[in-house]
A and B are shown apart, each in its own frame.
Chain A
């Protein structure tokens, strides 16, 4: 379980996260919604230890991410997919996927490579294994990013606006893959602007506003008129999100 307890994160005088609490149990797909600057991405970056907390506590299966040794363990349990892919530009697609399983998990190279090739094939990139990231389209890069994360067999998949840099067609490619992962029972924390997609796949929706978690509800309750929709901030947010096809 990922447990976020009263987390505070400040950049200078501004509190980007202001007492956020949240749990993600195995099998859940928790979507974090909120306008830009509400602290969604920062929350993900706190969970995977890229940001130091100014208050509160985050544990991943009991491992405290503020403790360097426990963070190293926690990082083996979760994997992150990034908005701007962040692939290793000097390595082939295959190497991007095999690096961490080989080096961090110390698994045998041949086994890791076979798995990586299977993963790439499952996202339609079997023939791009030896290409470099610069030779791929954005959608292809993000599919590699997903494979790189999945190659670690993570218990928790953290997705940080993974389609925000993609055009509608590429967004559809990536969402289709995420949809399959959800069906397979992957636990996810999903930061996104794709409200419709979130509604289809999430077990729970969390809404952040100015660093505060204002709503945490099961998906159908969130979208019910008496639930999240009753909240003026959320109503306002959703009214601006829905009409656009794909991009937000």
Chain B
């Protein structure tokens, strides 16, 4: 059979709907992982039980296969009366595992903030929360943002596993279309391009954020009013 993309045309709506669903579940997962990772990563730099708890969390979620976590949330939790639909299970699972990876990156970013800068903020009378919010976190994120970007890209790739819990994201849709059309080559070629496009969009966003956070490093920029 010759390579013929027109065989996809009748299924394009379904495939694009799947891609949109992937984008949605990943966007939620990335936002969630960013928030969770920031919280955990900061807690991990603290002493005492918050630090230990955060490190324990990271160890647990990084050492269990993603698919097992997804199955546990989707098939396991209903046994104890907690039912979450496939979409929110996906967003939650991505948040939980992405947060564990993001936490490590945020933690090293926080540790890399120059102590003297933090001390200057403290003696100026800023509260601990203000020191964190206005000084530590923005400085930590400018180094952390790029490694966070690779974690987010990996989350997009991992989201393909969510087809295994009946979520009609793009991989799930593609499997269905391939079975219907017997044209796996074209269908999966589309899928390759779809994931490349989605991850590229994530990278573009991260790149823009990185430039924004590091705008003060640009030589000469903003030098004059």
Contact = CB atoms under 8 A, between A and B. Distances in A.
Interface of A: 48-50, 72, 75-76, 78-80, 82, 84, 86-92, 99-100, 103-105, 127-135, 148, 152
Contacts of A86: 114, 116-117, 119-120
Given A80-B123, A88-B121, A89-B139, A134 B217 contact: yes
A129 B225 CA distance: 7
A151 to B, nearest CB: 9
A206 B125 CA distance: 27
Centre residue among A90, A91, A99, A103 by max chain B CB count within 10 A: A90
Interface in B10-37: none
B117 A76 contact: no
Contact of B225 (A76, A91, A127): A127
A87 B117 CA distance: 6
Q: Is the interface of B mostly helix, strand, loop or mixed?
A: helix
B223 A135 contact: yes
A50 B182 CA distance: 70
A90 B220 CA distance: 15
Given A49-B123, A75-B123, A75-B124, A89 B117 contact: yes
B123 to A, nearest CB: 5
Centre residue among B114, B123, B127, B224 by max chain A CB count within 10 A: B123
Contact of B216 (A75, A76, A89, A104): A89
B151 to A, nearest CB: 22
Interface stretch (B130-138, B156-164, B184-192): B130-138
A104 B215 CA distance: 26
Contacts of B139: 88-90
B219 A135 contact: yes
Contacts of A129: 225
18 contacts: A49-B122, A49-B123, A82-B120, A86-B116, A88-B135, A89-B139, A89-B216, A90-B138, A90-B213, A91-B216, A99-B124, A103-B130, A104-B124, A131-B223, A132-B215, A132-B216, A133-B216, A135-B219
Contacts of B124: 75, 79, 99-100, 104, 148, 152
A50 B119 contact: yes
Centre residue among A48, A84, A132 by max chain B CB count within 10 A: A132
Nearest to B225: A130
Interface string B141-165: 0100000000000000000000000
Contacts of A76: 125
A133 B117 CA distance: 12
Nearest to B117: A86
B126 interface: yes
Contacts of A88: 117, 120-121, 135, 139
Contacts, number: 87
A92 B222 contact: yes
A105 to B, nearest CB: 8
B213 to A, nearest CB: 7
A125 to B, nearest CB: 11
B94 to A, nearest CB: 29
B216 A100 contact: no
A69 to B, nearest CB: 12
A243 to B, nearest CB: 31
B1 to A, nearest CB: 57
Q: Which 9 pairs between the two chains have the least Cβ-Cβ distance?
A: A132-B216, A86-B120, A100-B124, A104-B125, A86-B116, A75-B125, A48-B123, A130-B225, A80-B123
Nearest to A151: B124
A169 B119 CA distance: 27
A134 B114 CA distance: 14
A100 B225 contact: no
A49 B123 CA distance: 7
A8 to B, nearest CB: 21
Given A48-B123, A90-B216, A103 B134 contact: yes
B125 A100 contact: yes
B138 A128 contact: no
Contacts of B221: 132, 135
Interface in B99-124: 114, 116-117, 119-124
Interface string B195-225: 0000000000000000001011101111111
B120 A135 contact: no
